[in-house]
Structure 1
Amino acid sequence: MSEESGGVVVYWRPMCPYCVRLLTQLLFTRLKFTKVNIWKHPDAAAFVRSVADGNETVPTVTVAGRPMVNPSKGELLEAVRAYAPHLLSRATEGG
């Protein structure tokens, strides 16, 4: 996934209330991100396990390739400001 190196990727799975919360909050920003369903992509599930102590904890998000396990919207936007500020040029920065 090319977005991993410089963008935001949200790893999620169906019926995850934490995923629904974060994805819903992100709808109110203009931040562009890629969603990856770990139940449909075994490599993505393996990646999540590799950064979440062997668990499939979602949402797991990468910002410019840096993983974050179950971040809040504020934590995610803070990481974008630090590691991929070009993504916020049109996004809402409120956290």
Structure 2
Amino acid sequence: MTDQTAAPGVTLYTTTWCPFCQKLVANLDRSETPYTRIDVEEHPDAGEWVKSVNDGNRVVPTVKYSDGTYATNPPAGDVRRKLAELG
């Protein structure tokens, strides 16, 4: 999916240069898992949110779920399981 594409359940906060982001996106795409992707370098407010949940560090990928929970650098399998829980 592309930056800012609306998808229910999960938002990925990423950068284009982060290898961990690239791996997560590739694995989610391979399994056709829906997500919304936001590049924190293009959207400073998103980068500030990432810092707010990571002890002041802009750590990517950070994933926010529709229930308000989040995870930093989760494996794609964890993201898929959480989406299944959210229904």
Q: TM-score w.r.t. structure 2 length?
A: 0.84
Which consecutive unaligned segments of at least 5 residues does structure 1 have? Answer: 86-95
Number of equivalenced pairs: 82
Task: Single out whichever of 39-48 and 6-15 deviates more from structure 2.
Answer: 6-15
Which structure 2 segments of 5+ residues have no match? none
Partner residue in 2 for 1:89: none
The percentage of counterpart residues that share the same residue type is 33
User: CA offset at residue 30 of structure 1?
Assistant: 2.2
Give me the CA root mean square deviation. Answer: 1.8
Paired residues for 1:25-40 under 5 Å: 25-40=27-42
Shift of 1:66: 1.5
Q: 1:72 aligns with which of 72, 75, 78?
A: 75
Shift of 1:67: 1.0
1:40-77 deviation line (CA, Å, top 9, x unaligned)? 10110011001111111100011113211110011111
Q: SS of 2:24's equivalent?
A: helix
Q: Which residue identity is paired with 1:32?
A: P
4+ runs deviating over 6 angstroms: none
- What's the secondary structure of 2:71's corresponding residue? strand
Counterpart in the other structure of 1:50: 52
- TM-score, reference length from structure 1: 0.77
Q: Secondary structure at the match of 1:26?
A: helix
